[in-house]
A and B are shown apart, each in its own frame.
Chain A
Amino acid sequence: MKNITALFKNDITKKILLFFDENPQCIDTAKGISVWIGCDPDKVQKVLKKLDKEKILISHKTASTQAYSYTNQKDILKKIEKYIKTYERKISR
């Protein structure tokens, strides 16, 4: 997995990671996720593909659609969670 700080530099990536951290049970399409985070679906789709490659998200492919869900890998989850906590602390200051 890439450096999380680098991932958080992209606004859409940051929003997607915060969304999945808040809703880890969610499985949704790029269109759905773009509604939840209020971003352009095409841009969201690109970032989702990238996060799938990074194994932060799991893609569920079918003939007509592709859905994404949060990883189950503990080490990745811990890293992201830790980063988000620090990030939120910074924001609240």
Chain B
Amino acid sequence: MSESNGKEKKEFLLRFCGSSAIQLFKEAFSDIVGRKVDSLFFDSEYAPLETKKRYRKKIPNSLKDIKPALLKEIKVFKGSRGKPCLSVPITQGHNIYGFVVILNLRREPDKKELAVMKLFIDLALKDFQKEQELRKLYDTIRPRAIALSTIHTVHRLLTSTLDMHELIERIARLTLQVMRSKYCSIMLLDTSKNYLIPKAVIDLKFNAGSMRKKYRKIKIGAGAICKVARTGKADLSRNSVCVPLVEEDIIGIICARNKANNTPFTKFDMEILLTLAEQAVIAIRNAQMYEEQEKMAYGSIKSLAALLDAKSPHTYTHSEQFVKIVMALAEEMRLSREETTNLRYAALLPDTGKFSIPDEILKKRGGLSREEFSIIKKQHLESLKILKPLEFLKPAMPTIMYHHERHDGTGYPEGLKGKDIPIGARIMAVVDAFDAMVSRKKNMMQATKELEKNKGTQFDPDVVKAFISLSSKQEFKQIFL
């Protein structure tokens, strides 16, 4: 038992005396002596636990000058009106917590009954101690386990996106949640390390917590936030907690202000925010690396497209307008970020394989012979050959390969049908046809009608439906301005 000092001992005793175990003890004793018993509780120095006058009045005079040292065993003594009373020590080993005194019994209990009572109270004490220890454990471990689980969930939430904008907003919202604060800002240092650039500021006081769109960069000076960004040391005050985002070097700060219930921030809050910042840094770094990698990949494809374009403009690649329509349609159809990225790559290089087709076939006006068409149909194999070494294009290859397939299975190269054709390829097929018609001087209305006419045969009806919906929007018309 760890209750070493008197105050803790007394508190423990108070809880024990009010416990159900003591109630049970009194009931059991009442059964033995045949009447409802009255009881008093004393601490280890034999001072009454309750100081009320009504309570003190009950204490028999014979008990007032008693020496607790003499009462280490269960003892019977005479109370008021000469009726027998019982003092039962609440002990464990040599440790005396206090005494329970049963007043004015009808008869004196025999030795056996006393032994049973002593055993009962010892067992009740042991049981109560276990219960207390379990409660203590529950009270200390449970909040920490919940906090740990929260951090684990935060980690999962942060590592599940590589989109920097989405990530920063997510970090800000999670910070607000975990800290239960009304305000959160995330700022990253610029390359010169002279300015903090606010990336997300959420203030629940304004606009029901919406993100503020305009931020002013802050020159690193003497303020508390700047000090954190300069020194890398967290700052805790009553109304704010600010921690650095450190990855080898300081890359920024997270700052939370004003707790929702107006209580001050504690060291525990700071620890939690520091842990969250550590997770955030990894996620930010991953997103930055992904952004750089994406830029590099996009740059390589653009170079390749420019190289092909130099030979014969728009024979192997399409116009910027084509890529924009494909992207807009992907958004209209709510494709995932990964699907959209791959579709963008595919849209930049849809017919790379045409490089191997002789110019006379490519530039031929009028119909193609069977032989010439079979050469055209093989262009996807050439695309594959050219693009295969570019590993990052692997996920985009099915879109490039199959965008000449038709919904009814009469397309090429493999005669795939319906949903067997990758979604990117189905989208590209529709936009490819639309782009071709518009470039052949058909107006948009006519081209759209033509698409509708061929839905279910040449084109996926869902994609055509989405295209028609998109074509009525202002953003679509702006592509052609």
Q: Specify which chain B residues have a CB less than 8 angstroms from the CB of A25 in the assembled complex.
A: 147, 150, 177-180, 272
Q: Restricting to B142-156, which residues have a CB under 8 Å from any CB of A?
A: 143, 146-147, 149-150, 153-154, 156
B174 at the interface (CB under 8 A from A): yes
Chain A interface size, under 10 / 10 to 19 / 20 to 34 / 35 or more: 20 to 34
Q: A58-B177, A72-B176 are in contact. Are A28 and B149 (CB under 8 A)?
A: yes
- Which one of A28, A36, A72, A74 contacts B153 once the chains associate, using CB atoms below 8 Å? A28
Look across to chain B and name the residue whose beta carbon is closest to the beta carbon of A69: B177
Look across to chain A and name the residue whose beta carbon is closest to the beta carbon of B272: A25
A27 at the interface (CB under 8 A from B): yes
Interface centre among A27, A63, A65, A74 (most CB of B within 10 A): A27
- Which one of B143, B157, B208 contacts A27 once the chains associate, using CB atoms below 8 Å? B157
Bound state CA distance, A29 and B155, in angstroms?
12
**In contact, B160 and A27 (Cβ under 8 angstroms):** no
Q: A65-B156, A72-B260 are in contact. Are A60 and B174 (CB under 8 A)?
A: yes
B341 at the interface (CB under 8 A from A): no
Bound state CA distance, A73 and B170, in angstroms?
18
- Which one of B146, B161, B208 contacts A62 once the chains associate, using CB atoms below 8 Å? B161
Q: Specify which chain B residues have a CB less than 8 angstroms from the CB of A32 in the assembled complex.
A: 149, 153
A5 at the interface (CB under 8 A from B): no
A38 at the interface (CB under 8 A from B): no
1/0 per position for A23-49, CB-CB distance to B under 8 A?
111111100100010000000000000
1/0 per position for A49-93, CB-CB distance to B under 8 A?
000000000101011110101101110010000000000000000
Look across to chain B and name the residue whose beta carbon is closest to the beta carbon of A23: B146
Bound state CA distance, A73 and B260, in angstroms?
10
Q: How far is the CB of B126 from chain A (nearest CB, A)?
A: 27
Q: Specify which chain B residues have a CB less than 8 angstroms from the CB of A65 in the assembled complex.
A: 153, 156-157, 160
Q: How far is the CB of A66 from chain B (nearest CB, A)?
A: 10
Q: Specify which chain A residues have a CB less than 8 angstroms from the CB of B176 in the assembled complex.
A: 72
**In contact, B157 and A62 (Cβ under 8 angstroms):** yes
Look across to chain A and name the residue whose beta carbon is closest to the beta carbon of B209: A72
Bound state CA distance, A28 and B177, in angstroms?
11
Q: Specify which chain A residues have a CB less than 8 angstroms from the CB of B178 in the assembled complex.
A: 25, 27
B204 at the interface (CB under 8 A from A): yes
**In contact, B150 and A62 (Cβ under 8 angstroms):** no
Bound state CA distance, A64 and B376, in angstroms?
42
1/0 per position for B286-304, CB-CB distance to A under 8 A?
0000000000000000000
**In contact, A27 and B174 (Cβ under 8 angstroms):** yes
Q: Specify which chain A residues have a CB less than 8 angstroms from the CB of B173 in the assembled complex.
A: 60
**In contact, B157 and A26 (Cβ under 8 angstroms):** no
Bound state CA distance, A60 and B401, in angstroms?
37
Q: Specify which chain A residues have a CB less than 8 angstroms from the CB of B179 in the assembled complex.
A: 25
Q: A62-B161, A72-B204, A72-B209 are in contact. Are A28 and B150 (CB under 8 A)?
A: yes
Bound state CA distance, A32 and B147, in angstroms?
12
**In contact, B146 and A26 (Cβ under 8 angstroms):** yes
Look across to chain B and name the residue whose beta carbon is closest to the beta carbon of A33: B149
1/0 per position for B151-188, CB-CB distance to A under 8 A?
00110110011000000001001101111100000000
Q: Specify which chain B residues have a CB less than 8 angstroms from the CB of A67 in the assembled complex.
A: 153, 156-157
Q: Specify which chain B residues have a CB less than 8 angstroms from the CB of A73 in the assembled complex.
A: 208
**In contact, A60 and B146 (Cβ under 8 angstroms):** no
Q: Specify which chain A residues have a CB less than 8 angstroms from the CB of B180 in the assembled complex.
A: 24-25
Bound state CA distance, A30 and B160, in angstroms?
17
Bound state CA distance, A27 and B143, in angstroms?
13
**In contact, B157 and A23 (Cβ under 8 angstroms):** no
Q: How far is the CB of A79 from chain B (nearest CB, A)?
A: 15
Q: How far is the CB of A72 from chain B (nearest CB, A)?
A: 6
Bound state CA distance, A77 and B260, in angstroms?
11
Bound state CA distance, A67 and B150, in angstroms?
9
Q: Specify which chain A residues have a CB less than 8 angstroms from the CB of B149 in the assembled complex.
A: 26, 28, 32, 36
Bound state CA distance, A24 and B149, in angstroms?
13
Q: Specify which chain A residues have a CB less than 8 angstroms from the CB of B260 in the assembled complex.
A: 24, 72, 74, 77
Q: Specify which chain A residues have a CB less than 8 angstroms from the CB of B170 in the assembled complex.
A: 60
Bound state CA distance, A26 and B154, in angstroms?
10
In the A-B complex, the 10 residue pairs with the closest CB atoms: A62-B160, A69-B177, A67-B153, A27-B150, A27-B153, A32-B149, A25-B180, A23-B146, A25-B178, A26-B150
A-B contact pairs, 25 of them (CB 8 A): A23-B143, A24-B180, A24-B260, A25-B147, A25-B180, A25-B272, A26-B150, A27-B157, A28-B150, A28-B153, A32-B149, A36-B149, A58-B177, A60-B157, A60-B170, A65-B156, A65-B157, A67-B156, A67-B157, A69-B177, A72-B176, A72-B204, A72-B260, A74-B260, A77-B260
A sample of 19 more A-B contacts (CB under 8 A), given A36-B149, A65-B160, is: A23-B143, A25-B147, A26-B149, A27-B150, A27-B157, A27-B174, A28-B146, A28-B150, A32-B149, A32-B153, A60-B173, A60-B174, A62-B160, A62-B161, A63-B160, A63-B336, A65-B157, A67-B157, A70-B177
